[in-house]
Amino acid sequence: MTVPVTIPTPLRGYAAGQKTVSVEGATVGEALSALTTQYPNLRQHLFAEDGKLRSFVNVYLNDEDVRYLKYVETPLRESDTLAILPSVAGGAHESDRAMVR
């Protein structure tokens, strides 16, 4: 079945600038595999060398984090959508904190 995958802005350059890409797959893993087959430069940003999703890459099926479902084995239905969201980390620089005080 075909599902749309939303590509986050920082990764769109590796997906020909596409915001959303439709891919085939019966599971989340199959859909992500199809995505990285279609856009091979995305693979290194989504998957570690061992083939597992990178820890800072979050994949949502509809509004659910796939880590709390069946991960990449989570089955897909016709009405499903996938979204890739890279984790955002960081903090304020010391000079920024001084401005807040």
Residues 6+ apart with CB under 8 A from 26: 1, 75, 76
pTM of this prediction?
0.84
* pLDDT tens, residue order, the chain (101 aa): 899 999 999 999 999 999 999 999 999 999 999 999 999 999 999 999 999 999 899 999 999 999 999 999 999 999 999 999 988 765 555 555 454 54
